[in-house]
């Protein structure tokens, strides 16, 4: 079929899409603020809907196909600009007619703008394209890099600005659109997206997807592989490789309950289904809140449900982030700080107050670490960031997560929980499917919560938090009851007294991490051995504990842990774990050698994003 005929079909598809779709919501969804991380001009031209038609080629490690955008050129501009990154553009059609396009030169971090000449009435823009070798959102896995080691696997990670490396799009968090997709994959494999998803592999290898709720490009996601589904309840379930599905199903038993717990706090879950996909171990992050289908690392499958709070976090993004979205990456704390706060509220409702106190205490510790690393006067420790001309991932620090969530905790403590909760619920309702800047949030909070009450204003001191560095003086610092026991266990261990294994057997991940983090450093090899003999840290199946333990093992040159650490580094691609390990190794000459050898061996198992982070640590670039 020729291109013109295909695009006429695409245009027909549009009419049905728009009838079923949600035009009014997407109409008003472009943020009214300059986003420095998109080269598109979607602030002037509305991109309402995307029809994506792509083929996934594992031999070439390439996605190819076309993306058709339904636009509204309301200001009658002469050019539409889209974001692309390392992409080959074959041709462009405007309303079915070939158009002369121009691919601009590359801008650091941002890629190249694709310029397309349009008229005032242009409606359908089709871009035929192929992804490049440096498509940073994509990780192509050979069978041996998967859990089951039988089939190839592909997944995307689009946040923050990588959707443009696999879809020519307007790639800013403030630009929302609906989408439908047709995805062709090798027969026998399953394809999943951040959309309505299949539950079984089909014979044709062709899958159709729909997302009727407008979403920003950073929430576009695709995974292709040998994937099974297992139901949790009527609206939740889990996807994983066949060899992982049962363990994953066991681990996520409480996910259905989590969704209803979240709803009781801040209103209805508005996305239909909530499923979780467990990815192969190279996934560079813990989790990603792709709408309807959270992507997560297998490192949370500990066998004892001890790390499921990560799912609570990604689920919470269904409100903070996916429903109400940060307008630009400078407002990132509105996504992550709110989500961390909300995650802890869900976990508190399910696990109790003494449990969540530990998470708040760790939050404070993590904030201290982040502020120390960045420097207490660094402007990157403000909640409102200034990432113009920079890599948006520079903002991906615990400032957004921990300073952000502790700010909300302070507001809660100041106005009382009841008022806080009705305010947040109203906030989500009134901003549903919209984007918001920090300033808009502050104005909204003033109008609806603080209401000019100067006593409350003075207690909170918004300026110090949002436009000020470091840890504000009034930062909540919670001392958990359950850490009292842990602190005395540390003292008694250091004093060489017998170890109380009975008490420790009931500890959660927070207690273990607190126990290890607060040991004096470095411990002697004999102390490390004594810890290991008693608590079997080298063999732990809990990745959070393993990571802290391996960092200590490097610092103390505790060689008995190195084989297990080697294995951990060979498969785990989660940046949160890799970074501290490689950083610790780089501190000594021997360690440097070890880091270089390990990285050379295992680099290929890491996602391009994780590789970029480790390159920085090892090569300093
Ligand atoms: N949305 C983030 C992940 C992200 C942020 C990816 C910015 C790329 C750019 C996700 O929700 C997240 O925060 N994941 C955490 C989970 C944790 C805080 C429970 C992670 O991956 O560690
Ligand atoms: Zn998050």
Is the separation of the CB atoms in 442 and 466 below 8 Å? yes
pLDDT of 139 > 80? The answer is: yes
Residues ≥6 apart with Cβ < 8 Å to 22: 178, 212, 213, 214
pLDDT of 305 > 60? The answer is: yes
530 alpha carbon to ligand 2 midpoint, in Å? 37
Burial class of 490 by CB neighbour count within 10 A (0 to 12, 13 to 18, 19+): middle
Ligand nearest to the CA of 393: 1
| Per-residue model confidence (pLDDT) at position 31 | 55
499 alpha carbon to ligand 2 midpoint, in Å? 37
| Per-residue model confidence (pLDDT) at position 621 | 67
Ligand nearest to the CA of 544: 1
Residue range 39-68, pLDDT digits in tens? 999 999 999 999 999 999 999 999 999 999
Q: What percent of the chain has pLDDT over 90?
A: 92
Residue range 428-484, pLDDT digits in tens? 999 999 999 999 999 999 999 999 999 999 999 999 999 999 999 999 999 999 999
Residue range 261-273, pLDDT digits in tens? 999 999 999 999 9
Q: At 208, is the secondary structure helix, strand, or coil?
A: strand
Please report which confidence band the pLDDT of residue 18 belongs to, taking 50, 70 and 90 as the band edges: very low
Instruction: Give the nearest ligand 1 atom to 401 CA.
Output: 18
pLDDT of 185 > 80? The answer is: yes
pLDDT of 107 > 80? The answer is: yes
DSSP 490-504: HHHHHTTPPP-HHHH
Is the separation of the CB atoms in 166 and 134 below 8 Å? no
Nearest 5 degrees, angle CA 458-CA 464-CA 467? 130
114 alpha carbon to ligand 2 midpoint, in Å? 30
Report residue 252 CA to chain centroid gap: 19
pLDDT of 83 > 70? The answer is: yes
Please report which confidence band the pLDDT of residue 500 belongs to, taking 50, 70 and 90 as the band edges: confident
DSSP 510-574: HHHHHHHHTS-SSPPHHHHHHHHHHH-GGG-S-HHHHHHHHHHHHHTT-GGGHHHHHHHHHH---
Please report which confidence band the pLDDT of residue 600 belongs to, taking 50, 70 and 90 as the band edges: very high
Our mutation pick for probing the ligand 1 site, out of 160, 163, 219, 288, counting the most ligand atoms within 8 A of Cβ, is 288
Going by alpha carbons, the residue nearest to atom 14 of ligand 1 is 287
Residue range 374-406, pLDDT digits in tens? 999 999 999 999 999 999 999 999 999 999 999
Alpha helices in 375-453 (DSSP H): 398, 404-415, 417-430, 438-445
Domains 3-226 and 236-304 belong to one CATH topology: no
Q: Which of 425, 390, 420, 389 is nearest to 405 (CA)?
A: 420
Q: Tell me what the mean pLDDT of segment 587-611 comes to.
A: 95
314 alpha carbon to ligand 2 midpoint, in Å? 6
Burial class of 619 by CB neighbour count within 10 A (0 to 12, 13 to 18, 19+): exposed
Residues 565 and 108: their CA atoms lie apart, in Å, by 35
Q: Tell me what the mean pLDDT of segment 339-344 comes to.
A: 98
Domain ranges of the chain: 3-226, 236-304, 319-466, 509-618
Q: Tell me what the mean pLDDT of segment 412-422 comes to.
A: 98
| Per-residue model confidence (pLDDT) at position 589 | 95
311 alpha carbon to ligand 1 midpoint, in Å? 11
pLDDT of 366 > 50? The answer is: yes
| Per-residue model confidence (pLDDT) at position 16 | 43
| Per-residue model confidence (pLDDT) at position 22 | 35
Nearest 5 degrees, angle CA 602-CA 604-CA 605? 70
Please report which confidence band the pLDDT of residue 12 belongs to, taking 50, 70 and 90 as the band edges: very low
pLDDT of 619 > 80? The answer is: yes
Our mutation pick for probing the ligand 1 site, out of 285, 328, 387, counting the most ligand atoms within 8 A of Cβ, is 285
Q: Is 496 left (phi over 0), alpha (psi -120 to 50) or beta?
A: left
**Superfamily of chain region 3-226:** tricorn interacting facor f3 domain (2.60.40.1730)
CATH topology of domain 509-618: 1.25.40
Ligand nearest to the CA of 343: 1
Is the separation of the CB atoms in 288 and 295 below 8 Å? yes
Strands 190-193 and 222-225: antiparallel
Residues 431 and 121: their CA atoms lie apart, in Å, by 31
pLDDT of 6 > 90? The answer is: no
Residues 443 and 421: their CA atoms lie apart, in Å, by 18
Ligand nearest to the CA of 332: 1
Residues 552 and 519: their CA atoms lie apart, in Å, by 9
Quote the mean pLDDT of the chain. Answer: 94
pLDDT of 294 > 90? The answer is: yes
| Per-residue model confidence (pLDDT) at position 536 | 96
User: Is CATH 3.30.2010.30 what the domain over 236-304 is classified as, yes or no?
Assistant: yes
Is the separation of the CB atoms in 277 and 291 below 8 Å? no
pLDDT of 296 > 60? The answer is: yes
| Per-residue model confidence (pLDDT) at position 474 | 98
DSSP 217-266: GGG--EEEES-EEEESSSSEEEEE-TTTHHHHHHHTTTHHHHHHHHHHHH
Residues 72 and 121: their CA atoms lie apart, in Å, by 8
Q: What percent of the chain has pLDDT over 70?
A: 95
Domain spanning 319-466, CATH class = mainly alpha
pLDDT of 23 > 50? The answer is: no
Please report which confidence band the pLDDT of residue 19 belongs to, taking 50, 70 and 90 as the band edges: very low
Q: Which residues line ligand 1 (CB under 6 A)?
A: 159-160, 285-289, 310, 313-314, 317, 336, 396, 401, 576
| Per-residue model confidence (pLDDT) at position 10 | 45
Q: Tell me what the mean pLDDT of segment 103-116 comes to.
A: 98
Residues 141 and 42: their CA atoms lie apart, in Å, by 34
User: Sign of the C-alpha dihedral, residues 225, 228, 230, 231?
Assistant: positive
Question: Where in the sequence numbering do the catalytic residues fall?
Answer: 314, 401
| Per-residue model confidence (pLDDT) at position 237 | 98
pLDDT of 154 > 80? The answer is: yes
Burial class of 305 by CB neighbour count within 10 A (0 to 12, 13 to 18, 19+): middle
Instruction: Give the nearest ligand 1 atom to 313 CA.
Output: 19
Q: Tell me what the mean pLDDT of segment 167-179 comes to.
A: 98
Higher pLDDT residue, 249 or 22? 249
| Per-residue model confidence (pLDDT) at position 499 | 85
321 alpha carbon to ligand 2 midpoint, in Å? 8
Backbone angles phi, psi at 400, to 5 degrees: -55, -45
Our mutation pick for probing the ligand 1 site, out of 137, 162, 221, 286, counting the most ligand atoms within 8 A of Cβ, is 286
């Amino acid at each position: 079929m020729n291109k013109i005929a295909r695009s006429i079909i695409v245009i027909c598809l549009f009419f049905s899409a728009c009838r079923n779709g949600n035009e009014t919501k997407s109409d008003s969804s472009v943020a009214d603020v300059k986003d420095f991380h998109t080269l598109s001009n979607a602030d002037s031209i509305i991109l309402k809907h995307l029809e994506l038609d792509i083929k996934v080629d594992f031999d070439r490690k390439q996605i190819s196909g076309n993306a058709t955008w339904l636009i509204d050129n309301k200001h009658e501009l002469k050019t539409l600009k889209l974001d692309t990154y390392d992409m080959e553009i074959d041709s462009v059609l405007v309303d079915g007619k070939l158009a002369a396009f121009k691919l601009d030169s590359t801008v650091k971090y941002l890629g190249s703008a694709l310029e397309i000449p349009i008229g005032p009435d242009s409606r359908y823009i089709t871009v035929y394209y192929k992804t490049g070798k440096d498509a940073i959102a994509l990780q192509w896995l050979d069978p041996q890099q998967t859990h089951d080691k039988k089939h190839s696997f592909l997944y995307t990670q689009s946040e923050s600005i990588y959707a443009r490396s696999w879809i020519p799009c307007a790639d800013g968090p403030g630009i929302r659109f609906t989408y439908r997709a047709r995805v062709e994959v090798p027969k026998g494999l399953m394809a999943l997206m951040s959309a309505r998803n299949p539950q079984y592999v089909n014979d044709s290898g062709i899958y159709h997807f729909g997302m009727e709720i407008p979403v920003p490009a950073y929430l576009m996601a695709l995974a292709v592989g040998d994937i099974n589904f297992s139901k949790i309840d009527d609206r939740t379930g889990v996807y994983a490789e066949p060899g992982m599905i049962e363990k994953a199903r066991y681990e996520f038993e409480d996910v259905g309950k989590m969704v209803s717990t979240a709803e009781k706090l801040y209103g209805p879950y508005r996305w239909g289904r909530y499923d979780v996909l467990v990815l192969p171990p190279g996934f560079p992050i813990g989790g990603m809140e792709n709408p309807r289908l959270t992507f997560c690392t297998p490192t949370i499958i500990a066998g004892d449900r001890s790390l499921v709070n990560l799912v609570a976090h990604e689920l919470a993004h269904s409100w903070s982030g996916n429903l109400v979205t940060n307008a630009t990456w400078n407002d990132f704390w509105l996504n992550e700080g709110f989500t961390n706060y909300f995650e802890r509220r869900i976990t508190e409702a399910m696990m109790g107050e003494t449990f969540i106190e530990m998470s708040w205490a760790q939050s404070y510790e993590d904030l201290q670490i982040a502020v120390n690393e960045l420097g207490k006067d660094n402007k990157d420790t403000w909640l409102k960031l200034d990432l113009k001309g920079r890599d948006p991932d520079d903002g991906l620090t615990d400032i957004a997560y921990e300073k952000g969530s502790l700010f909300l905790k302070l507001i809660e403590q100041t106005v009382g929980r009841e008022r806080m909760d009705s305010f947040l619920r109203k906030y989500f309702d009134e901003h549903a499917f919209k984007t918001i800047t920090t300033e808009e949030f502050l104005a909204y909070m003033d109008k609806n919560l603080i209401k000019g009450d100067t006593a409350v204003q003075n207690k909170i001191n918004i300026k110090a938090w949002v436009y000020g560095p470091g840890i504000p003086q009034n930062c909540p610092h919670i001392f958990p009851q359950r850490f009292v026991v842990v602190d005395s266990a540390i003292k008694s261990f250091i004093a060489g007294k017998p170890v109380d294994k009975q008490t420790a057997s009931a500890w959660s991940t927070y207690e273990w991490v607190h126990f290890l983090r607060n040991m004096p450093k470095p411990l002697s090899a004999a102390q490390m051995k004594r810890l290991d003999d008693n608590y079997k840290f080298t063999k732990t199946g809990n990745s959070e504990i393993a990571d802290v333990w391996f960092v200590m093992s490097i610092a103390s040159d505790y060689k008995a842990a190195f084989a297990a650490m080697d294995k951990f580094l060979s498969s785990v691609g989660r940046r949160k774990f890799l970074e501290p390990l490689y950083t610790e190794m780089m501190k000594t000459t021997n360690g440097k050698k070890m880091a270089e050898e390990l990285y050379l061996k295992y680099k290929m198992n890491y996602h391009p994003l994780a590789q970029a982070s480790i390159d920085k640590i090892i090569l300093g670039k």
